[in-house]
Structure 1
């Protein structure tokens, strides 16, 4: 588990640098298309810097607001607090804050920039419909995300994907509005090449970046399942919880596409079976996750 924490930190740095350099390259293309030269790189740098700052310090409050989650009082849900207390000790992390979404669907997620500023959110359905062992399995899964810095890792992924998508959208709209052509009407072959390259990147970058994000999200769910089972030392608890989640056909009413990858299971109940459509899944198939837990 300690190796995975180190790997996540290392991968966070590598991914951040690669995406950041790619976004600077998009900025350079943006600058060439609009006749701004290397000032486009500064624009890309400035956008990424703002998004990183906002995400690092405000992402948890934004996520909680979007999800309509409210902080839980211990006197209202003592068994939840007891589970979080015991599992945080077992996981070796500070006790995270506990929030709840008033929704009958069974789901949960973790957010925050590091273990010292982490929050675990569960739905009322999870608190009411899961037994103690199942609920502990779900909470341990989320604590695994916290302990292994998955929450920070996915925050960086989301910021870099968002920056790339924003720059690509600006470039694409410039073609639709005619700005790119007008700004380079007198340009030579190099400018024309940048226009063609910009158009290709504007179309492909958001798709490729999103596919990378989704692939990372699916992998982290498998790993969090395994690490959560190590925390509770009872894989069946999480497996049984996933069975109940799989049988629950009602989507989460406050679900948002901006936060769907955070949950332990897709809150929209979307899960494509085919190989091609499966690339657009936020989570691996629950049946595969249950099978992996059953083998532990």
Structure 2
């Protein structure tokens, strides 16, 4: 395979993941539309409930959009590193972040370090101008420069791909579904019903059917929304993996880093279920190596490494054998 085929491979992967992400958003929009239409007809309120739910969801998300990164960094115990004059132990980190910032054509993000022996990292911030990248001391101690470059390339890709904004969009849509579903179920519980009298016009049977459909959808729509939200999270993780190769031109470094983080037995003490989706590898180590569930925030490590292996093959880069197996980077 010629060298010129390499960009085609990871650009194709990038396009595929972006397309899948927007298709998933489309699914949420369709669910919200169906739910709003059925509930609007069943209650006689029309589309007013959907509009109100979206407004409330947006209002609830504004605080998270502007202040969420500070809360995440504070709750993680992250300390900012002065990039102008970093301590000796963080000079390589700052150097790699600067390198990836230039490669990605994005502003230099703030750099933070979390004092924890478990290797991991995450990026946060509403846009490239307000981005932060945080890594643990364990990651700096346990990785060589090639692996560190792969990790920072992944996190810089989250910044470059505006993943925080994308997650906010999905969150608003899913939140709107949850709000309108909850309202309708409470409305029904307290004896609410359609305000006009379709029975007089012979539409009682249709009204009853649509009311039942609205009730069923109100129960299952929040679950569908959550499934899609998690699927989007998995898709954006794969997108960041592939985009990292666009920055580093080295799929092996990231693959080795993923294997190192996954195999490490240390528990990231500062992580919790509210922040687990931010990290490059899920720090809540309760999932099987090859598990693939609709409830997972990340794709299986073996699957992520196999995608990088395919890209390496197209690039003509030697890839360590069996790296998709636990313990193969030791």
TM-score per shorter chain, which class?
0.7 to 0.9
Normalised to the residue count of structure 1, the TM-score between the two structures is 0.81
Match of residue 104 from structure 1:
117
Match of residue 91 from structure 2:
78
CA positional deviation for 1:64 = 2.8
Match of residue 265 from structure 2:
249
For 2:221, which of 201, 205, 209 is the aligned residue?
205
Root-mean-square deviation (CA), in Å? 3.3
User: Closer, same or farther in 2 for the Cα pair 1:292/1:3, shift >3 Å?
Assistant: closer
1:36-82 per-residue CA deviation (whole Å, 9 max, x = no partner) reads 55542332132133144334323323433443433233434222211
Quick one: distance in 2 between partners of 1:15 and 1:253?
32
1:103-132 per-residue CA deviation (whole Å, 9 max, x = no partner) reads 222111112222222221212221222222
Match of residue 328 from structure 2:
none
CA contact (8 A) 1:107 1:263 kept: yes
More helix by share: 1
Structure number, greater radius of gyration? 2
For 2:158, which of 142, 145, 152 is the aligned residue?
145
CA contact (8 A) 1:271 1:278 kept: no
Q: Which runs of 5+ in 1 are unaligned?
A: none
CA positional deviation for 1:17 = 7.3
Greater relative contact order, per chain length (Cα 8 Å cut-off, separation 6+): 2
Q: Which runs of 5+ in 2 are unaligned?
A: 1-9, 313-330
For 2:304, which of 279, 289, 294 is the aligned residue?
289
Match of residue 234 from structure 1:
250
Matches within 5 A, 1:1-296: 19=28, 22-23=31-32, 26-27=35-36, 36=45, 38-74=47-83, 75-76=86-87, 77-174=90-187, 178-179=189-190, 181-182=191-192, 189=204, 192-272=208-288, 278-295=293-310, 296=312
Alignment length, in residue pairs?
A: 292
Normalised to the residue count of structure 2, the TM-score between the two structures is 0.74
